[in-house]
Amino acid sequence: MSNDALNWIEQELAELAAKGLSANIRTIDSPMDAWVTIDGRRVLNFCANNYLGLANHPRLREAAKQAIDRYGIGPGAVRTIAGTTTLHIELERRLAEFKHAEACITFQSGFTANLATVPALMGDGDLIFSDELNHASIIDACRLSKARTIRYAHNDIDDLRRKLADNAQFRRRLIVSDGVFSMDGDIAPLDKLCEAAEEHDAILMVDDAHGEGVLGKGGRGIVDHFGLHGRVDIEVGTLSKAFGVVGGLVAGKKPIIDWLRQRGRPFLFSSAMTAPDVAACIEAVNILQESDELVARLWENARILRAGMQQLGFDTGRSQTPIIPLMLGEAPLAQQFSRKLFEKGLFAMAIGYPTVPMGKARIRVMNSAAHSKSDLEQALDIFEAVGKELRVI
């Protein structure tokens, strides 16, 4: 291919930069924790989804080391060909037990868990009802399924009910929603979604990526939060956020999990999680089953930080969770705000289009159980200084 054929890429990149929409990826030279080292500087970290501070927990590190000594590193091939380790079986059993689900299957990531699930259950001639603010992995999964997709207004049960009633003729129907919406931090009304699904004989699926380890008793997730065990057909989750490692999971009714082992394409055609990752995830489950201390600390830190931001005059949107968006509007302002924060010793990235709609750029502030009270106080001082300097507050 000639260079001329690729000129459009250079033009698109230049346009992104001119609009302030280019992704500027920082390089970290330390473990993921409350503080990280970037460009030789130690800065406060409010970017990571490391909700419980487990990404650098000594027990998880030790579990991973022991797994390497026993199992090595890579799985060698997909589980259906090369077999599966006892570690993978143990993790899936423990996750099902933890979440009070009939069964569980793990994937390489939360993204691939969605890509496996929706196309395995839905196809040409079926209909999907998807919240308009669902994660990109759900959107892509719906496209791959070849089913027709209807978007309903965000968290609007009345709109969903109308669309369910108007589209009763399809072979199979699926309602799918994020549990916690990652950019705004609001929670899906899963109890109402469950009622609508039962009334209209639809399958119900929730992607609980940002609810795992955060909502429910001891971090058991959104199904536990609403007390809906046995009524939600599919609960997708990730092991890369609150669990501090990497990987994805689908928990729910046993026939669905059995079907995903037969027809979930990322399970069939991509190698499994590595042994040290699986062992670290098992240890994360152990920690959560032993105590809810980290979950309680996370929520207390979120309360302190949100109250402080609101008192300073920041617009924190509609968040109900430890995700705290600082709504700034235009992407160039959000990027400038992020740069100023970094200059003062705080790492919090700007988020703009296409991750959020045009005109809805923000700094998404992610606190964790790893942050101390003094960390939060220092962070609020920095946010105040930058907010006043840029005349946001």
Strand, coil or helix: 158: helix
CA angle 84, 90, 93 (to 5 degrees): 115
Determine the Cα–Cα distance for residues 179 and 18; give it in Å rounded to an integer: 35
Is residue 192 part of the annotated active site? The answer reads no
Residues facing residue 44 across a β-bridge:
35, 346
Residue 28 DSSP code: B
Residues 4, 8: Cα–Cα separation, whole Å: 8
The one catalytic residue among 99, 135, 163, 241: 241
Take residue 57 and report the two structure tokens written for it. 């927990």
Whats the size of the chain, residue-wise? 393
Q: What type of residue sits at position 343?
A: E
Residues 6+ apart with CB under 8 A from 244: 32, 50, 52, 53, 54, 55, 56, 57, 60, 280, 284
Annotated active-site residue in 57, 88, 135, 210: 210
* Known catalytic membership, residue 210: yes
Q: How far is CA 131 from the centre of its chain?
A: 16
Edge-to-edge strand list for the sheet holding 346-347: 35-38, 41-45, 346-347
Q: Which residue has the tokens 């892509």?
A: 140
Residue 182 designated active-site:
yes
Cα distance between residue 371 and residue 52, in whole Å:
9
Residues 254-273 as b or e (16 or more Cβ within 10 Å = b): eebbeebeeebebbbebebb
Q: Which of 130, 137, 177, 182 is catalytic?
A: 182
- CA distance linking residue 334 with residue 234, whole number of Å: 36
- Rounded CA separation 75/82 (Å): 8
Distance CA 30, CA 47 (A): 14
Tell the residue number behind the tokens 């260079």, with chain if given: 3
Q: Are 260 and 72 in contact (CB under 8 A)?
A: no
The structure tokens listed for 117 are 């699930």
List the catalytic residues: 182, 210, 241
